[in-house]
Structures are given as C-alpha cells and as structure tokens.
Chains A and B, each alone.
Chain A
C-alpha cells in the first residue's frame, strides 16, 4: 500500500463527493440565517474542509461489490462525515473529536493480537495492512442516537485479516480495545465510560463478509476524529459497535465485556443489531434522520443488511439478545 501526500486542492475535486448536495445545504442554512436575522451578506469565512493540509490519499484501492449504486443512496458529504462524530475519547460534543483529535498523531501504531490464536504478537500498522489490497466499500452507518450516514470506507475485509492470525477452534468471540492514553486523548481524562473502550463480536459475526477493518474513507487515510489509524465497521449494528483506534484484538472463549453494555446494560446489549422494533429507553429506533435530510425515515432491520446477516440470528429472541 502506498501513501501519496496531496494538496488539499487535489481532494476538493474528489469524484465521489457530491459537492452539489453539500453546497445546497450550506446555501440553505446561510439563506435562512440571512433572511431570519438580517445579517449583512458578509465575508465570514466558513469553517469547511477541516482537515485541509493533512489529508493523505490512499493508493491502489480496488472496488468492491458494496458500491454507492448497490446502496442506492447519496453519500454523506465529506465535511459531515468528518465533523460530526461520537468519539468520546476526544470529548462528548459532536464536534469535539474534530477539535481535540487535531494533534493526535496515530503513527507509529501497533496492535496486539492475543488469546486463542495461532499467530499472536504485536503487529505494526504496516504488518497489518500492507499484505492486503485495500477495498472501497460504501455502507450505511446507523448511530443508536437515531441519525445515520452513508460512508465510503476504505479498508480490509475483517475475515481476510483474521485468517492471517489463525483463530483457533476455541475462539468463539473476538474482543477489541481502543487506545487508552489520556495524555493524547483528552476525553479520557473524564470517566464518561470505563476506559479503555471495549467492543466485541461473536466469531461468526467477525467472519461475516460485511465486517470490515477500515483504514480510510473517501479514498483517503482515516482522519483522526474517525478512528485513525484503524477501526472496525459493522454496518448492521449500531455505530458504537464499530470501535475506533484499535490497539488490541483478543480471541476469546467467552463473550467479552463491552463498554456501552457495562455502562448501561438495559440500553445497550452485546449484539446491538439495528432493530427498529426494539425501542430504546432514550430513542425510538423506528426511525432515523439521515444527515443532510430534514424528515426522518423508517429504519431498516439490520440497517438493510438482513440478506447478509439475518441467518446468524435465526432462532434467537431478539428482544432478549438486543
């Protein structure tokens, strides 16, 4: 995998950014503000293109079968994907990660692989990623807070990566951990959650073709606020399952503890599959607001990925195993 530095101006013309949509929304907001409160048509510089200057294009990306066409929806614009984030390691506000992850330098990075596995060890980011061909995958992304996006990720099928580690037969689950470093992760100075952030999957979920290890989005390296340098993406589950900035992958015999489940077991289950019928104490999950749209839309069972994943949950009481 090669990394080529590019000027920000190169990226603005990115073919897949539906810039018209983005401009429309901005124009709408501005007009509303202008009309409503009689602001003079001024020259306050908009704070767009937040990552200008430090964006790195990824090279040698292959297309996959999960394209924008197959999702059949517009991509969420780059600005929104990279400025509206839940990443409590960098603060609890939606724009905190953008602000406080600016100087987080993810490289060099390494990931500990341990537990029930043939090839345990500490893998550098390059060891993990370089042997693979990167793929483009456009997935819906559904947050438990009832908002959603469509994101063009770049990365590696999780099963492909795991095959190199060689999970043993005893490995029934896999546990992931985020970096725990309050010096570099400002939000970890408060115990919003018990750090480090932990997530987990059942082994068959991890090996499902949809499970994805992302290292980029919009054809570029992952911005810090999106979980640089490497994060999970499980599009049929609520967003918090897609753990960011991973430093540990442990193959286990038993179901591992997961952060949100530890914090609120009644609200967040281990599976946390998108399920519009199972309502949540805080948010009805029946509908969601796609970022950039005004009206809410009905949410889909398994976020629309039932064909790929429903068979894994046959016979399970989804009201109990939520």
Chain B
C-alpha cells in the first residue's frame, strides 16, 4: 500500500472515528447516569472541552511533523480543525438551546456583560471564518500566502479558548492552566524552530561576510 492509500483508506477513517468518539462517550455517560445531577451544565462543559482539545490537536500537527519528520501529519490538520469547530458549534447550541433556552435577551446580556463569554464568542467567530475558508476553492482563491496569513489566527482562537476556560472556572483551577500551558509549549516550540531556521538561513546567505 502506498502512503497515500494508507492515509486515505486506513488512517483517515480511524481519525474520523476518534473525532466522533466523544459523542459516543456522551451517549454512554447519559445512559449510565454519568452526566451529574445537572446534565445541561455537564453537556455544555463537555462539548466546550472537546472543542478546545481538537483545536489544540490541530495546532500540534506542525510540531509533530517537524519532530517525527513525517509530512503525512499535515493531511489531518484540516480535519482536526473542522472538528474543533464542529464541537464549538455543538457547545454554542447547547448554551443557546438548553442552558438559555433561546432567551435571546439573556444571551445578549451574557455576550456583552460576561467577559468570559465575550472571549468565547471571539474565539468562535475566528473558528467560523477559518472553517468557512477551508475548502480547496477558497484556498485557491485567496492564494497560499494570504490563506496562510489568515489562518495564523488559529493561535488567537486557541488563546481565546484557553482564556475563556480559565475565566469561567472559579479560583485558580488546574485544568485550564494545563490547556494554556500546553498551548504555550506549542508556541514556544514554533518560535524556537523559527529562530533556528532564521539562523540557518543567515548562515547560508552570509558566509562571504565573514
């Protein structure tokens, strides 16, 4: 089997299944009374956490590629990013439809008054724009360079997601810090890699000056 076929026929379906597994897990929890006495809160938080998990997974792709040297990883980036958006949509729907039960007035007040929700909305809008511009067509239309620049916003979304999480929890809780720390590690890694590349480039172009 060629690498392409391996990705298409084996790995892609596998990753799809993994991406849908949280929904199956949810059904299992609902069935076994595992959603606490406040299932609406549980559901909302569960979906929000998975949105963030997928977002950070998508951000892990490039570092993974660099560390392992296997370019095939990039074939999964879009999928993971879109699943992050998918869970963010479910998270938002559970907030609007279950938690607030379509009370638009209260939702509006939340959006403008509760800073953590404003931040969540910001992250959501970014994810929506990135998802909408993820088709082959738009990539072509925008051109690789512009598209890349636009999709750098994914870091802002990641940061927003972590901040939203941190602000939402009372006191100084471990989980949001863990997610934020993970995001920071990914960013630091990228930065160090960028510096290294620059030094290499400088080394290549400037030997005459020495």
Residues of A within 8 A of B (CB): 26, 29-30, 32-34, 36-37, 39, 42, 44, 46-48, 76, 79-80, 83-84, 88, 92, 94-95, 145, 147, 190-193, 260, 263-264, 279, 281-284, 286-287, 289, 291-292, 294-296
Interface string of B95-136 (1 = CB under 8 A from A): 000100100001001100111100000000000000000000
CB of A292 within 8 A of CB of B37, answer yes
A37: chain B residues at CB < 8 Å are 24, 27
B167: chain A residues at CB < 8 Å are 282
CB of A147 within 8 A of CB of B38, answer yes
The residue in A37, A47, A283, A292 that gathers the most chain B C-beta atoms within 10 A of its C-beta is A37
CB of A47 within 8 A of CB of B34, answer yes
Q: How far is the CA of A103 from the CA of B109 in the complex (A)?
A: 43
Question: B173 contacts the other chain (Cβ, under 8 Å)?
Answer: yes
The residue in B101, B168, B172, B175 that gathers the most chain A C-beta atoms within 10 A of its C-beta is B172
Supposing A37-B24, A37-B27 touch, asked if A95 and B36 sit within 8 A by C-beta, the answer is yes
Q: How far is the CA of A46 from the CA of B35 in the complex (A)?
A: 12
B contact residues, total (Cβ < 8 Å):
33
A79: chain B residues at CB < 8 Å are 37
| Number of residue pairs spanning A and B whose beta carbons lie under 8 angstroms apart | 92
Supposing A39-B27, A92-B174 touch, asked if A281 and B115 sit within 8 A by C-beta, the answer is yes
CB of A47 within 8 A of CB of B32, answer yes
CB of A282 within 8 A of CB of B31, answer no
CB of A281 within 8 A of CB of B169, answer no
Nearest-neighbor residue (CB-CB) of B101 within chain A: A295
A286: chain B residues at CB < 8 Å are 106
Question: B203 contacts the other chain (Cβ, under 8 Å)?
Answer: no
Can you name 17 extra interface pairs (CB under 8 A) apart from A42-B31, A294-B101?
Answer: A29-B33, A44-B32, A46-B32, A46-B33, A47-B33, A88-B171, A94-B41, A147-B38, A192-B173, A192-B174, A193-B172, A260-B170, A260-B171, A263-B171, A284-B106, A289-B38, A291-B37
CB of A83 within 8 A of CB of B30, answer no
B113: chain A residues at CB < 8 Å are 279, 284
B14: chain A residues at CB < 8 Å are none
Interface string of B23-55 (1 = CB under 8 A from A): 010010011111111111110000000000000
Residues of B within 8 A of A (CB): 24, 27, 30-42, 98, 101, 106, 109-110, 113-116, 167-175
Checking B35, B41, B172, B174 against A29 with a beta-carbon cut-off of 8 angstroms, the contacting residue is: B35
CB of A34 within 8 A of CB of B31, answer yes
B172: chain A residues at CB < 8 Å are 191-193, 263
Nearest-neighbor residue (CB-CB) of B31 within chain A: A33
Please provide the 9 A-B residue pairs with the shortest distance between their CB atoms, ordered closest to farther: A80-B37, A84-B37, A33-B30, A37-B27, A33-B31, A192-B171, A46-B33, A291-B37, A94-B36
Measured CB to CB, the closest approach of chain B to A208, in angstroms, equals 27
A264: chain B residues at CB < 8 Å are 170-171
CB of A284 within 8 A of CB of B109, answer yes
Q: How far is the CA of A269 from the CA of B170 in the complex (A)?
A: 14
B115: chain A residues at CB < 8 Å are 281
Chain A binding site: helix, strand, loop or mixed by DSSP? loop
B32: chain A residues at CB < 8 Å are 44, 46-47
Supposing A46-B32, A47-B32 touch, asked if A147 and B41 sit within 8 A by C-beta, the answer is yes
Nearest-neighbor residue (CB-CB) of A76 within chain B: B37
CB of B171 within 8 A of CB of A193, answer yes
CB of B27 within 8 A of CB of A36, answer yes
Nearest-neighbor residue (CB-CB) of A263 within chain B: B171
Q: How far is the CA of A39 from the CA of B30 in the complex (A)?
A: 11
A292: chain B residues at CB < 8 Å are 37
Measured CB to CB, the closest approach of chain B to A258, in angstroms, equals 13
B30: chain A residues at CB < 8 Å are 29-30, 32-33, 36
Nearest-neighbor residue (CB-CB) of A92 within chain B: B173
Nearest-neighbor residue (CB-CB) of A149 within chain B: B37
Measured CB to CB, the closest approach of chain A to B209, in angstroms, equals 53
CB of A291 within 8 A of CB of B38, answer yes
Checking B24, B27, B38, B110 against A94 with a beta-carbon cut-off of 8 angstroms, the contacting residue is: B38
CB of A296 within 8 A of CB of B38, answer no
Q: How far is the CA of A291 from the CA of B36 in the complex (A)?
A: 10
A94: chain B residues at CB < 8 Å are 36-38, 41-42
Nearest-neighbor residue (CB-CB) of A39 within chain B: B31
Q: How far is the CA of A30 from the CA of B27 in the complex (A)?
A: 9
Measured CB to CB, the closest approach of chain B to A168, in angstroms, equals 34
CB of A282 within 8 A of CB of B168, answer yes
Q: How far is the CA of A296 from the CA of B106 in the complex (A)?
A: 11
**23 chain-A/chain-B pairs, Cβ below 8 angstroms:** A29-B31, A29-B33, A30-B30, A32-B30, A33-B30, A37-B24, A44-B31, A47-B34, A76-B37, A92-B169, A92-B175, A94-B36, A94-B37, A95-B36, A192-B171, A192-B172, A193-B172, A281-B114, A284-B110, A284-B113, A294-B101, A295-B101, A296-B101
